[in-house]
Structure 1
Amino acid sequence: MTDTKDEKRDGQVVELELDEKLIKKDVDLAFQLAQQSHGIVIDEETNRRLLRKIDLWVCPILCLVYAIQFMDKVSNAGAAVMGLRTDLEMTGLMYSWVGTGFYLGYLVFEFPVSLALQRFPLAKTTGLIIIVWGIIMCCHAACKNFASFEALRVLLGALESGITPAFVIITGQWYRREEQYFRTSIWFGFNGLGTILSSSIAYGLFQRQETIGTPIDAWRILYAIMGGMTIFSGILFFLHMPDTPAQAWFLTEHERLQVVERIRDNKTGFGNRHFKWDQFKECFVDPRTYIMFIYNIASNIPNGSITNFSTILIEGMGYSSSGALLMNLPTGAVELVFCILFGFFARKFNLGLPVAIVGSVIFCLLSVCLLGFASNTYAQLVGVWLFGASPVPYICLLSNIASNTAGHTKKVTSNAIFLIGYCVGNMIGPQTFIDKQAPKYVGAKVSMVVCSAAQILALVALMGYYMIENKRRDRRDEHLDMEDSEFADLTDRQNPEFRYII
């Protein structure tokens, strides 16, 4: 049995046949609710009330978890000047491989974990991942040699590979397309709070170790504390976060229908648990996939460098170990403030990519030029601080995947490929720090400047593609005559009514 609909294409009427199996099985998770929500009117007052409620119950838990996961990620930067390298007898490129190992695990498990997030309940799967990674984090405190520590970093990377894809999907489920950049910038900006907390805890433990002593090495206590915080946040996430808005315990039945109707215009739905090969293949013929992949490699070579070596670079400017931990604190403050501020500007002026390009020039290119070429150590320090807000364009592209990629399998695949680029860049970054170039690391600084320029070109290319494609679709003026097509799990290329947000 088929359901035949008409589709207008360039003034011609053609048949679009949908198999009954597709209708009943392969549509979006919100399809049934979408049929019930017809006729519900979302006025401005209702919209504001729903948005406030979503912000109150969804955003804080995302911010908390993302701050803690970044604490875990940058913990090495603090531990490195607290005795980690000495106690585990790291020489040569061993410490660089600690950073690379994390992203090796991330790279290998990105696709499997992303598919698991599609196949199983999203929030519950994410909560379990967070809890297990917290246990792995605690195990860092027991390491006796480089090999065991490196193995745990690989495992940690494998587990954390699911967090960003999950948060991108969650943001797309709950928010309208025009709201997603700002909300993504909020939860991602809390990486800055993670940097502040990580550096503060590390400084306090280091000071205690240097004065009255600690029962075990201070860096071991650091990993145990962060692991405990991660386990707590994972339990909280598991119990609090619904798998879809349709299951939200903090919404009434009518509010759940209103949320479905509210995101109808996204044309991206809640998700679909069936893997679709046609959507998977479409990713690899979509030029955006390659533009964003190239961007992510270029942007994360500097990120992988500074994330792992920030305190070491600051030490190279003449600061003591404890002073380097303190001087790293403003980096987190810059990230927290400016990521959210630029997200607000993008939302206010409805110009995501232009704002991202400006942010890339200031916080990526300018910052690494100061770090690499300034002769004054204070200017170099400002470069390190400014780099804290370098995720501004990265946040834009994460939001782009949520808002500009339709079809759940395609979104999951796009997310995975994008984050594989993230892994590759972060794996290369630490390797640019050659031991014999310490403490200036000139080669690493030059590579950061070149990569920052390349990422700006990639952003410009992506914006150009969106503008050209939107104009092409406007000229063709194609429309679907299909009820609830917004929840039919069509991709952005399959749906002629879809327009890309710039």
Structure 2
Amino acid sequence: MSTPNLDIEKPSPIGSGDPVDSSSEKQCGQVMPLTLSREEEDRILRKMDIRIIPMLAALYLLAFLDRGNIGNAKIEGLLDDLHMTGGQYNWCLTVFFFTYCAFELPSNLLLKKMRPSRWLPLLMVAWGIVMTLMGVVQNYAGLLTARIFLGVTEAGLYPGVAYYITLWYPRHRAQFRQALFFSAASVAGAFSGLLAYGIAKMDGVGGYAGWRWIFILEGLLTVLVAFVAPFAIQDFPETATFLTEEERKYVINMVRSQSAEGDETRRGARQDTEFRIKYVIDALKDWQIYVAVIMFWGITCPLYGISFFLPSIIKDLGYTSSTAQLLTIPIYITASVVAVAGAWLSDRRNQRSSFILFFMALIAIGFIIVLASSGRGVPGVVYFGVFVAVVGIYPAFPGNVTWLSVNLAGDYKRAAGLAIHVGLGNLSGAMASNFYRTKDAPTYTLGHALELGFCVAGIIAVLVLRVSYQKINRQRDDMDVSQFDEDELQELGDKSPLYRYMF
């Protein structure tokens, strides 16, 4: 199901705090006056937040919980019971990302054509079933196969929801919502440790080991929530029943007419409501996506390395399994709070790259502390270094995705571009799955050094993107646009000389 084409003659200025008169806007042949202050706009956005964000966060919390709980299961005896080696465990982590990356683009295009309230719950049922079945595997081959199919079924969720948010919120207000949604991942990290601590006490119940119950119960929870999700997920602003007719028109106008600089000239950004393969090709050929992938790797290599191995890293500092599970909780909770606060400030200041650079610097500092203190008999300092790194990882990630999304114009190009960005970016998970080898315990020097190296490469990519956007914007300021007609400017999308990149 695609969003209908709307004829909007004059975009309404937003975000200024001054009253907005949009009386020239025409919708279905009728003149609809709108006068909205910043406070009234905030009221509409809060109304959307209440109806949209909680369910999306719940979906991602469950997805990240199901993806990463194998790290908790590992220290509860998974390797011994399945007679697996450390190398085989790493392969089970790795293969997930091959299918996860391969299926993200087609899933995002399907989301645009189908109703999100049907497609996303369908994905949930599928991965919940796979997760439940992981609790009954009997050997390495069974676990490997289950992880392959988990990648297939989870593939569409994150890029789909990241794109879905762009259909509802304007660019200068999007990162805060992306952070609210993504903070579910850090909550999942804390929740995973707490759940694993409790579920592991079921060891022997029904003849199953505690680690099996981690998979079974968390998989069944996902399936249960999936049956509620269709009633809680809204499809598009055009069909939102919780908004009044005037509010719907204002939201559509606000999203469709946005520019990368916050003013409301149309900037040549088309809204492609009918699918054409050209939009996918445009995304595949766009240089900024591939530079952004390196930025993505600089954040998600540490993200996946930590999510899969944090319990093991803490346990190898000399703590018991139960204590290690519990010590992950304050790290993730703090990261969640900082992610939301950082995103709010980023939206408030209408900046992206400076905040991403700050949080990526925290990641680098954290791993430097870990490398400098590992093996020196100071487990508390190592724990602090990991703490600092995680507090940088989770705020940096939503900024990275939001920054690219606001610089891609057109619904289908944005959907394809985000899928490519997240898909290729998540190959970092395949790499990070092999950074922390059992034989490197307890210092894991190689793993920490590789994470630091990817983070530095990501910082360089952020600087390249920022400088490039600034240069292109300056060049477009000096361009003569009289040679283009309006249709040509609209067709050029973010390549239009009227379009300005946000940095």
Q: TM-score, normalised to structure 1's length?
A: 0.87
CA apart distance, 1:179: 0.3
CA apart distance, 1:461: 1.0
Further displaced range: 38-47 or 190-199? 38-47
Q: Which residue of 1 aligns with 2:27?
A: 36
Match of 1:383 among 385, 404, 412: 385
- C-alpha distance in 2, partners of 1:388/1:292? 20
Correspondence list, 1:110-125, <5 A: 110-125=104-119
Q: Which residue of 2 aligns with 1:253?
A: 245
Which letter maps to 2:276? F
Whether 2:474 is the aligned partner of 1:471: answer: yes
Match of 1:266 among 245, 258, 261: 258
Q: Which residue of 2 aligns with 1:369?
A: 368
Is the 2:359–2:396 Cα contact (8 Å) retained in structure 1? Answer: yes
Whether 2:306 is the aligned partner of 1:306: answer: yes
Identity of aligned residues (%): 24
- C-alpha distance in 2, partners of 1:87/1:379? 33
Aligned-CA RMSD value: 2.5
Q: CA distance change for structure 1 residues 255 and 349 in 2, over 3 Å: closer, same or farther?
A: closer
Is the 2:163–2:418 Cα contact (8 Å) retained in structure 1? Answer: no
Is the 1:180–1:402 Cα contact (8 Å) retained in structure 2? Answer: no
- C-alpha distance in 1, partners of 2:492/2:218? 41
Match of 2:227 among 224, 235, 249: 235
- C-alpha distance in 2, partners of 1:138/1:284? 36
Is the 1:372–1:445 Cα contact (8 Å) retained in structure 2? Answer: yes
Whether 2:410 is the aligned partner of 1:407: answer: yes
CA apart distance, 1:54: 0.6
Is the 2:197–2:325 Cα contact (8 Å) retained in structure 1? Answer: yes
Is the 1:123–1:243 Cα contact (8 Å) retained in structure 2? Answer: yes
Which letter maps to 1:88? L
Is the 1:74–1:307 Cα contact (8 Å) retained in structure 2? Answer: yes
Is the 1:88–1:145 Cα contact (8 Å) retained in structure 2? Answer: yes
Further displaced range: 466-475 or 429-438? 429-438
Is the 1:181–1:347 Cα contact (8 Å) retained in structure 2? Answer: yes
Match of 1:81 among 72, 75, 81: 75
- C-alpha distance in 1, partners of 2:5/2:342? 32
Further displaced range: 465-474 or 316-325? 465-474
Q: Which residue of 2 aligns with 1:218?
A: 210
Which letter maps to 2:57? C
Match of 2:438 among 423, 435, 439: 435
CA apart distance, 1:306: 1.8
Whether 2:69 is the aligned partner of 1:68: answer: no
Q: Which residue of 2 aligns with 1:445?
A: 448
- C-alpha distance in 2, partners of 1:295/1:58? 28
- C-alpha distance in 2, partners of 1:236/1:302? 33
CA apart distance, 1:260: 1.2
Unaligned runs of 5+ in 2: 10-25, 260-268
Which letter maps to 2:232? H
Q: Which residue of 2 aligns with 1:7?
A: none
Which letter maps to 2:390? G
CA apart distance, 1:229: 2.1
Q: Which residue of 2 aligns with 1:281?
A: 281
- C-alpha distance in 1, partners of 2:356/2:116? 29
Q: Which residue of 2 aligns with 1:293?
A: 293
Q: CA distance change for structure 1 residues 413 and 222 in 2, over 3 Å: closer, same or farther?
A: same
Q: Which residue of 2 aligns with 1:127?
A: 121
Detail structure 1 runs of 4+ shifted over 6 Å in the superposition. Answer: 268-271
Deviations 1:221-246 (A, max 9, x none): 11122112212332232222232111
Aligned residues: 470
Q: CA distance change for structure 1 residues 101 and 62 in 2, over 3 Å: closer, same or farther?
A: same
CA apart distance, 1:56: 1.2
Deviations 1:186-238 (A, max 9, x none): 111121211121111101122453xx967521112111221122123322322
Is the 2:240–2:248 Cα contact (8 Å) retained in structure 1? Answer: yes
Which letter maps to 2:36? D
CA apart distance, 1:401: 3.1
Q: Which residue of 1 aligns with 2:92?
A: 98
**Whose relative contact order is higher, 1 or 2, with alpha carbons under 8 Å and at least 6 apart?**
1
Deviations 1:61-84 (A, max 9, x none): 112112121111211111111111
CA apart distance, 1:47: 1.5
Q: CA distance change for structure 1 residues 32 and 228 in 2, over 3 Å: closer, same or farther?
A: farther
Further displaced range: 29-38 or 86-95? 29-38
Correspondence list, 1:53-202, <5 A: 53-202=47-196
CA apart distance, 1:489: 7.3
- C-alpha distance in 2, partners of 1:320/1:276? 54
- C-alpha distance in 2, partners of 1:367/1:239? 42
Which letter maps to 1:238? P
Is the 2:295–2:400 Cα contact (8 Å) retained in structure 1? Answer: no
Which letter maps to 1:36? Q
CA apart distance, 1:501: 1.7
Is the 1:29–1:269 Cα contact (8 Å) retained in structure 2? Answer: no
Q: Which residue of 2 aligns with 1:6?
A: none
Q: Which residue of 2 aligns with 1:319?
A: 319
- C-alpha distance in 2, partners of 1:269/1:31? 12
- C-alpha distance in 1, partners of 2:160/2:283? 19
Deviations 1:353-397 (A, max 9, x none): 1011001101x1011112222132111111222232303222112
Deviations 1:100-132 (A, max 9, x none): 121122022222222322332333212211121
Is the 1:410–1:491 Cα contact (8 Å) retained in structure 2? Answer: no
Q: CA distance change for structure 1 residues 176 and 429 in 2, over 3 Å: closer, same or farther?
A: same
Is the 2:117–2:229 Cα contact (8 Å) retained in structure 1? Answer: yes
Unaligned runs of 5+ in 1: 1-24
3-state SS, counterpart of residue 60 of structure 1: helix
